[in-house]
Structure 1
Amino acid sequence: MTKSALNLNLVSVIDFPRVQDRRGNLTFIQNQDHLPFDIQRVFWTYDVPGGENRGAHAYKNQQEIIIALSGSFDVVISKADGTIEKYSLNRSYYGLYLPPMTWRHMENFSTNALGLHLSSSTFDSDDYIRDFHEYQSFL
């Protein structure tokens, strides 16, 4: 999905540009062209031990895009009604867009998995909802 087709209320996969070359491929992101927000924070997850999960929270206001730069992992979206959606990230040219109020956790990390997170706001601990029951009642 391209930025122009993105519904900012739904979890969506964004297909970033790919420049393919026999010497190696290149993917790039330009704020205004490819993202629904200006990047205010970037962080990455790595060296996650086998069997461990990351995340398990929702943001009240922050939007986020998660990219598997190397290796693979799953992003599990839990809806307030208990239904679950799972997205397997394993290509560096795909990003998973998460709108505000999306409960997520990441699991099933491959060896040497590297996850890049692009955020619409700087860190604010008050923006986090870390308890799923609180998340359900917040909605």
Structure 2
Amino acid sequence: MSSPYLIQFPKLGAPDIGYITVAEGTHLIPFAVARTFWTYHTPESIVRGRHAHHQTQQVLVAVAGRITVTTEVLGSPVQTFVLDQPTVGLYIPPHAWHTMQYSAGAVQLALASGTYDPADYIRDYEDFKRVWG
């Protein structure tokens, strides 16, 4: 079972013209992307996520603002990642419990290996520990 890790995406451009960051194929993203979604206007007091997936892999990117992501893979230490640059993504493997908290104005881009399937989610922490413990 793999652990979450940061991905550094290329930054192309210059201050006088702006920048572009690109992720193509599976060179940096370790799966074919089947679903893309973004989260925005989330109040700072709200903690989102609070789930794990049986099969889905994800890469999260803070394209604006700051997102604090906490991950837990049973048998490994809990990890906290601060995403605050659009050139850095966080790979979240299946079986990793994760939560996200957003700064004001944060926008999260999520790239997922599968389409939405409610059966793929483990939404109860005790179930997560039972299934993967």
Using the alignment, how far apart are the partners of 2:23 and 2:128 within structure 1? 31
Count of aligned residue pairs for this structure pair: 131
Q: Give SS of 1:31's match.
A: coil
Stretch of structure 1 that moved more, 47-56 or 77-86: 77-86
- Percent identity, aligned pairs only, is 31
Q: Give SS of 1:32's match.
A: coil
Q: Does 1:20 align with 2:4?
A: no
Q: Give SS of 1:37's match.
A: coil
Q: Does 1:138 align with 2:131?
A: yes
Please name the residue that 1:117 is paired with: 110
Structure 2 counterpart of 1:66, one-letter code: L
User: Taking structure 1 as reference, are residues 82 and 94 closer, same or farther at Cα in structure 2, changes over 3 Å only?
Assistant: closer
Deviation at residue 26 of structure 1 after TM alignment: 1.2
Stretch of structure 1 that moved more, 115-124 or 14-23: 14-23
Higher strand content, 1 or 2? 2
Question: Following superposition of structure 1 onto structure 2, how do residues 43-82 of structure 1 map, counting pairs within 5 Å?
Answer: 43-80=37-74
Q: Give SS of 1:138's match.
A: helix
Deviation at residue 120 of structure 1 after TM alignment: 0.2
Q: Give SS of 2:18's match.
A: coil
Using the alignment, how far apart are the partners of 2:67 and 2:113 within structure 1? 22
Moved >6 Å (runs of 4+)? none
Using the alignment, how far apart are the partners of 1:131 and 1:82 within structure 2? 19
Deviation at residue 82 of structure 1 after TM alignment: 8.7
Q: What are structure 1's unaligned runs of at least 5 residues?
A: 1-7
Which TM-score applies when normalising by structure 2? Answer: 0.92
Question: Following superposition of structure 1 onto structure 2, how do residues 32-47 of structure 1 map, counting pairs within 5 Å?
Answer: 32-47=26-41
Using the alignment, how far apart are the partners of 1:99 and 1:118 within structure 2? 12
| RMSD, aligned α-carbons | 1.5
Deviation at residue 34 of structure 1 after TM alignment: 2.1
Which TM-score applies when normalising by structure 1? Answer: 0.89
Q: Does 1:127 align with 2:116?
A: no
